[in-house]
Structure 1
């Protein structure tokens, strides 16, 4: 789609806008246009709003409300939903339309979801503070606003039909995109009513006062539904960023400096330029790009380059040096993230004390779709095609590189072939624009898999110190946890980094579901020298769940207690967590005997607004771990599409198992040692376990689902390895540690 999703006429006055999260206008086609806010003011007062002008541009008058989504009902009955969330495999292009369709009373297949253009004033997620897809927030952010928007639109359509028939709106009902007068049986379709509904006067409180369905009345929400985007992905019609083909387009393959922080010294490009199809060589401060007529020519040219680099200050950097930095940092007093009770007295009076140190490595994202970005830079405009989680950041990056004003940057967003947080960054887009400035044509800039893995924005490495004081019965009476590691938030969104605390880093660690009276959790920020770090499918909870749930297992061992029973006794004040533990334990057959070499492990987690319990069953032979079964009980509040939840838990679990067993980025001589899937291993399909998901029904608001499965499975797996072998895993990945006896 192009920069604006649709054009409408400015044929309505500002006073006609609803002031509590809904704007109403007449589309250029004569249909109904609604602008919907995800963060309406509670006082009902006026706030800025936006419309799509007749020229297709998005405009935000200063005295109107700025919506986060647009709903358009055309005269043919088509319902178009323009929303800022992007589809990267998590299923939001089905689940969000389900919210709207439920209350609007239209068939789900009739709702067409379109990418929103980059515009933070219109499309910022109120929970993130910017236009972004991440944090497992898509359904959490849209749950009520989308339903209210559908209900308000339905009410306007009913009023329009009642006006046409000169009857009371209460005598009409809407079903299946048709309004029916119950007494006479007369009907009018939504398409026939759209323009009439757009012209109706509306009261300012419609969005707040419109009646929403009770959960027991849902006919769509909570029912399994096939993904609306699956057919096009199967038949090849779906377009991802890497699929872009523009007239006259060239392809550039990038060779980045292999040493982190190094710069270009000299390049001998004579052989590269002699390759058939190679057009030019573009030199940047830290990279060289070969521009050619097609991908193969660009790859051949890139392999023929002879490059000298200034390796810089990080030329001798190793992973061991970085972990030594973390170890020393962990010996310093950190910034307190949580302090409860008298911790020192708790340890003084404890019957015994348990200490542990846990380490986790850098991780790459290794998305199925390698990093790519197509650009066309001219003197007065920059056009960008890619799949991104942060379209407005792409605009900002292009502005910085080109010097053009934001209105001259056009971003076309596509489906994303794997994000995991990698596409929350704009580094590749910035590089592509810098290359595009030197190319007199559209150019698709591509990273090979090797460049992708070796120059990723990595999940940080961490070093955690924990201590617990236990009473005579083995229950914890004092708990300390010091986290040393990078702060992604301090770089990515500084406003969230307050008083030295990164809220992502401490998630899970600073909000234990367990009843422990005296706790002290602190954080020491230690950035890895020169290594860029970024979000990775639940960074804080992924790190925190492994550490906390592994340590809880260690305490259960000291108490000579069953791991499930030990947790159950500490979860009396967190009934949702206790419930998923009990559900999962029953389903997994916890307590039944397993053959020698096999073991079960358990982990409980509350993160992203959801409660998880994972139980893993493994078979360990000759130091090789085979994960045979995963049982997951999840309470994520109201369920929109159970199919999506199951798929996300399955994918998240496999992602987490892969990282636990093999995931590790290491540095030597300032270089990332891993190059491709040969040495940054992915789980094979024949290695995938049986995964059983039990959705615990709940009346709470929805929680997140895209990332928790990855976070919760890691400690369940390492605890299962301990149950099978008696060897405690405190350092990831497991890899060949079991054979070498290096786990603890």
Structure 2
């Protein structure tokens, strides 16, 4: 998709003043700037910084904010290079424009894969540095002094005995030659990047209620639509009776979805829409519907991992050679693992609003994670030229992957509901918590079977690893670049590419048909592969009679960059947790370390109690190496959040099916982590000069296995999840 926009329209749409300086990067990497008064269409222009005629700086954010801190991180990069106070820089979400605002790691506009800071670090710093140099150049010319004698700080240019606010130079700066290679600040001069105590840009609005999420939006004359979804995948509406709904005050009408997979219920307010939906009487056709249950799919996957795999993922030894090595090993450690489907369960249920424009187009108001996918999809559904579709991005109350899928499902659902109206009023689609929990697009279910052979010294001689699960990419637009030789990499990531030097590694994969739509879930395949790798290594170390940390360090002694950095966080967490000291009486500790999304995270969980009477999580100690740290407080918060998210789900969460229907419906039977569940979390950041890497997801993968390894120290090895359904009680 290619969209064109003029600089003039961009500035007007963003509410800029009559004259403004806009700085950004062309697609070629060259910088560009223009005065709004002379703006002309230029599709390769990529603005990230706006400075109004009054000197107000605005950072244009190309990654949406779902709580992960992008508005703070990207604004910090702009503010740093402009020597501005972070709180003085306004934030605006970028419009939908794939050419101008694409994620450099993905090639399209979207947020995900913990890439926001990693792909924007140099891009946003260069934009800020260019603005600084152009403003100074304008001042130097006006004052007839050398630019080298001037500095910019806190919105004021000074030097050579003169001083003036940047507002005095905005118009002239827009006419200045654009520096091809603006000079970036030396890290020793940073006053924002890497500093603690920096207040997040989105905190105050979330506290005082001024921050606007999709659920908060209320447009004049809007209609609310709730959706009665089919109870089983593939079921269709045979008929429905809305006479009961007609008795609900505020009910407007009910219409079957265009594909008969549900019924739209329109009302004047959310409560009325939900009540009217409950009053519908629907006859469902289940002829083509899913009828299997979780027990069926689990049995199927366990059979798969005990059979020859469908695809070979990695073969340091052939399957036969691995079998021979295992047969001659001094001892073999083996285990089977089960991971159920999981819901994303964000605090804000899915919603979005579509409102009409005077030109016949529409505006989609949404916490939109992937505009590059949503924009053309919505245009197609509504039979509109893409230029007639505008996306206004709002804050999102979490996502964990749910808002980003190839089908743009909930956006499409809103568009279909809008299409059945006369298109003169805004239509706001709202899902209930039950809709959200039962709405599909789950973390896939997976099974593993691992057999590890050791020689007499405890050294690994063979590792046979078989995986069965539900592919996320196959059958979607992502298949062409995510599936190679039949293998969906998200099903196995973290195993064939492990930094551990594991001799005789053989990895096989077999695909299983899912019970429902599946999707990436915070840290994707690493959610189950890290659990298996780290619990198996713990079992192997103990079978070898060696310390679990020392055993891992031996496997990371090869001297590669990955091994050195993974070993670095492992040593750090061992030191900070007091690993070398014996745990207190009645306590046990477990360790896990994993690389994902370019970052290296090690965690040690300390527990107390007994598995029968109740386990208490006393403390989680974490060490993270994520390259150059932009906002340390955000990194710590993301590690804390990832740890809680990962631990909470392995403790007690599962989406299960009975006869094709989802059993769980709300937080009473799909319970989120509670504050008392973890007594303390202690995060340590390992200093690094490497480029920034991800922090939104890497805290999740080691958390579950670190907890499992700690519980094993109390006498219970858990390989089938969730833990509460497999012999563990938590206090």
Partner residue, 1:608: 597
User: Per the alignment, in what secondary structure is the counterpart of residue 548 of structure 1?
Assistant: helix
The answer on 1:216 being equivalent to 2:191 is: no
Alignment-derived partner of residue 694 in structure 2: 704
- CA distance 1:301–1:737, shift in 2 (3 Å): same
Query: Does residue 1:175 correspond to 2:153, yes or no?
Result: yes
Query: 2:397 & 2:614 partners in 1: Cα distance?
Result: 31
User: Any conservation in 2 of the 1:496–1:502 contact (CA below 8 Å)?
Assistant: no
- 1:195 maps to 171
Equivalent residue for 2:281, pick from 286, 294, 306: 306
| Counterparts of 2:112 and 2:348, CA distance in 1 | 18
Is 1:484 equivalent to 2:464 in the alignment? no
Conserved 8 A contact 2:451-2:465: yes
Preserved contact between residue 292 and residue 659 of structure 2 (Cα < 8 Å): yes
1:521 is matched with 507
Would the alpha carbon gap of residues 82 and 577 (structure 1) be closer, same or farther in structure 2, given more than 3 Å must change? Answer: same
Report the counterpart of residue 566 of structure 1 in structure 2.
551
In the alignment, structure 1 residue 260 sits paired with structure 2 residue 233: yes
Separation of aligned partners in 1, 2:419 and 2:679: 48
TM-score by length of 2: 0.91
Indicate the residue corresponding to 2:268 in structure 1. 293
Which residue matches 2:564? 575
Match of 1:593 among 568, 572, 582: 582
Query: Are 1:365 and 2:344 an aligned pair?
Result: yes
Q: CA deviation at 1:736?
A: 3.4
Distance of 1:385 and 1:325 partners within structure 2: 42
Q: How many aligned residue pairs are there?
A: 704
SS in 2 for 1:721: helix
- Does the 8 Å CA contact 1:158/1:174 hold for their aligned counterparts? yes
SS in 1 for 2:723: coil
Specify the alignment match of 2:301 in structure 1. 326
1:359 Cα offset (Å): 1.3
User: Aligned equivalents of 2:491 and 2:38: distance in 1?
Assistant: 45
Which of residues 436, 442, 446 in structure 2 aligns to 1:452?
436
Residues 275, 626 of structure 1: alpha-carbon distance in 2 compared, 3 angstrom cutoff = same
Alignment partner for residue 366 of structure 2, among 383, 386, 390? 386
* Counterpart selection for 1:32 from 21, 26, 43: 21
- More moved, 591-600 vs 552-561: 591-600
Q: How does 1:85-234 map to 2 (within 5 A)?
A: 85-181=63-159, 184-202=160-178, 206-207=180-181, 210-224=182-196, 225-234=198-207
Q: What displacement does 1:273 show?
A: 1.1
Residue 545 (str. 1) matches residue 530 (str. 2): yes
Matches for 1:732-743 after TM superposition, within 5 Å: 732-738=721-727
Report the CA distance shift for 1:348/1:167 in structure 2 as closer, same or farther (over 3 A).
farther
Aligned structure 1 segments of 4 or more residues deviating by more than 6 angstroms: 3-6, 49-56
Q: In the TM superposition, what is the alpha-carbon distance from 1:494 to its structure 2 partner?
A: 2.5
Aligned partners of 1:135, 1:610: CA distance in 2, in Å?
Answer: 12
1:603-639 CA-partner distances (Å, limit 9, x unpaired): 0111111111100112243253321210001111111
- Correspondence 1:638 to 2:614: no
Please say if residues 60 and 121 of structure 1, whose CA atoms lie closer than 8 Å, have aligned partners that are also in contact.
no
**Helix, strand or coil at the partner of 1:270:** coil
Residues 1:505 and 2:487 are matched in the alignment: no
Contact 2:19 2:37 in 1 (8 A): no
Q: 1:522/1:190 Cα in 2 relative to 1: closer, same or farther (>3 Å)?
A: farther
Contact 2:6 2:41 in 1 (8 A): no
Relative to structure 1, the CA distance from residue 300 to residue 341 in structure 2 (aligned partners, 3 Å threshold; closer, same or farther) is closer
- Please report how far the alpha carbon of residue 73 of structure 1 lies from its aligned counterpart in structure 2 after TM superposition: 1.2
Deviations 1:647-702 (A, max 9, x none): 11111111111101111000001100001111111122222330000111111111
Separation in structure 2 between the aligned mates of residue 106 and residue 721 of structure 1, nearest angstrom: 49
CA distance in structure 2 between the aligned counterparts of 1:716 and 1:52, rounded to whole angstroms:
55
Displacement of 1:51: 9.0
Secondary structure at the counterpart of residue 188 of structure 1: strand
Q: Secondary structure at the match of 1:640?
A: coil
What is the match of residue 652 of structure 1? Answer: 642
The match for 1:429 is 411
Q: Write out per-residue CA displacement over residues 498-538 of structure 1, whole angstroms, 9 at most, x where no aligned residue.
A: 33232333321122222223323333333314x10011111
State how far apart, in whole Å, the 1-side matches of 2:245 and 2:38 are. Answer: 46
Closer/same/farther in 2, CA of residues 117 and 592 from structure 1, 3 Å limit: same
Question: Contact 2:35–2:171 (CA<8 Å) still a contact in 1?
Answer: no
Residues 6, 42 of structure 2: 8 Å contact kept = no
Q: Report the Cα distance in structure 2 between the residues aligned to 1:354 and 1:211, rounded to whole angstroms.
A: 56
Q: Which moved more, 1:242-251 or 1:679-688?
A: 679-688
Offset of residue 712 of structure 1 = 1.4
Q: Give TM-score, length-normalised by structure 1.
A: 0.90
- 1:391 Cα deviation after fit: 1.9
Kindly report the root-mean-square deviation, in angstroms, between the aligned alpha carbons of the 2 structures: 2.6
SS of residue matched to 1:252: strand
Aligned counterpart in structure 1 of residue 389 of structure 2, from 402, 409, 413: 409
What does residue 24 of structure 1 align with?
Answer: none
- Show the counterpart of 1:316: 291
Following superposition, the deviation at residue 377 of structure 1 comes to 5.6
- Give unmatched runs, 5+ long, in structure 1: 12-26
In 1, are the aligned partners of 2:369 and 2:403 still within 8 Å (CA)? yes
Question: 1:14 matched to which residue of 2?
Answer: none
Query: Are the structure 2 counterparts of residues 535 and 55 from structure 1 closer, same or farther at C-alpha, using a change threshold of 3 Å?
Result: farther
Task: In structure 2, list runs of 5 or more residues that go unmatched.
Answer: none
